[in-house]
Amino acid sequence: MNLENNEYLREIADKGERLDQRKPVQRRAINIKRKVINHADGSAYVELGQTKVMAGVKVLEGVPYPDKPDEGSLIVSFEPTELADDYPKDRLIYGVEVGRVTDRGIRESRVIDMKKMVIEAGKKSFFVYIDIYALNNDGNLLDASNIAALAALLDAKFKRTPESEPESLPLDLQKMSFSSTFVKIGKNVFLDPMRLEENASDAKISIAVSTAVNSMQKGGVGFFTPEEVDFCIGKAFDLGGELKDLLTSSPK
C-alpha cells in the first residue's frame, strides 16, 4: 500500500469511516462450509470477507506428555500458503503469530476436556491436531482462523474404542472461545480490519473470550487506552454470542 492511500485511509478513519462502508464495530460477512477435506476427522472452510482459510482436525493416538500423563493433547498449527498474499516476509511473521494465538485462545478456554481424551494414563491418549491454512489474506487472519478451527472441531468425529464402537462419535466440546480483533487508526477503534486497515493501523488487539477472557494479543507500536481496552473486551463478549449462534446454526 502506498503512502498516498495510507494517508487517505487514516483521513477517513478520523471520521469513523471505512473503505468498505462498514460501521466501526461491524464484521464482514462470514461464510462457513464444513466437511471440505475427505480424509480429516473434521474440517471447515471459512470466508471472512475476502479472507479465506481452511482448517482440518485429526484425532490420533499418542503417548501422553510426562508432565500430563492423565491428559490428551491439543496441537494447533497454521500455514500461510504461497497463495495467501504477495508479502513473503510478512507471511513468515504472521504465520507464527496466528498459530500461537489461535492455539492459546482454544487451549486456555478448555474447549476440550483433555482428561477425557486419555486411553491409559501415562501410556496412551488422544492427540487432537488442528491444521489451519490461509488461502487468501485480506486482513484479520486471527479471527478467521479461530472460526475455522472451531467449525472444524464441531464437525469432527472419531472412534474412541475402534474394537467396540462401529460408528465415529463427535468430540465432547465443553465450550467455545471466540476471537475478536480490533485495530486503532488515529483516534478510532475498528473491528475486523481488512489488510489495508491493518497496514495503516497504529495498534491491534485480539481478544478471545468464552465465559471469561481466555487470551489477549496486542500488536503494533501504538497503544489502546484502558477505556478502549474495556470497550473492546465488552464488544468481544457481545460478538462471541453472535459467533456462537452462527457456528451452531451453520449447515453440518
- 174: domain CATH number is 3.30.230.70
Would you tell me the crossing angle of helices 88-108 and 141-155 to the nearest 10 degrees? 50
Which of 81, 221, 73 is closest to 141 using CA atoms?
Answer: 81
Q: Which residues pair with 208 in a beta bridge?
A: 179, 215
Domain that holds residue 27: 3-249
The rounded distance, in Å, linking the Cα atoms of 224 and 202 is 9
User: What is the spatial distance between Cα 199 and Cα 5, in angstroms, rounded to a whole number?
Assistant: 11
pLDDT reading at 178 higher than 60? yes
In tens, the pLDDT along 149-171 reads 999 999 999 887 755 556 788 88
As a whole-number percent, the residues of the chain with pLDDT over 70 amount to 94
Whether pLDDT at 252 is above 80: no
What's the gap between Cα 55 and its chain centre? Answer: 10
Q: How many CB atoms lie within 10 A of CB 39?
A: 7
Q: Look at residue 1 and tell me whether its pLDDT is greater than 50.
A: no
CA distance 222 to 207: 17
Question: How many structural domains is the chain composed of?
Answer: 1
CB 191 within 8 A of CB 27: yes
Written as nine digits, the cell of 86 is: 504477495
Q: What's the DSSP call for residue 112?
A: B
Which residue did the predictor score with more confidence, 235 or 174? 235
Residue 60, helix vs strand vs coil: strand
The confidence score (pLDDT) of residue 165 equals 58
In terms of Cα–Cα distance, which of 132, 133, 135, 176 is closest to 154?
176
For residues 87 and 39, the model is more confident at 39
- The full DSSP string for 127-174 is EEEEEEEEEE-SS-HHHHHHHHHHHHHHH-EE-SSTTT-SS-EE--B-
Across the chain, mean pLDDT equals 91
5-42 residue pLDDT tens: 788 899 999 999 999 999 999 999 999 999 999 999 99
Grid cell digits, residue 114? 483433555
Sign of CA dihedral 147, 144, 193, 103: positive
Does 208 score more than 80 pLDDT? yes
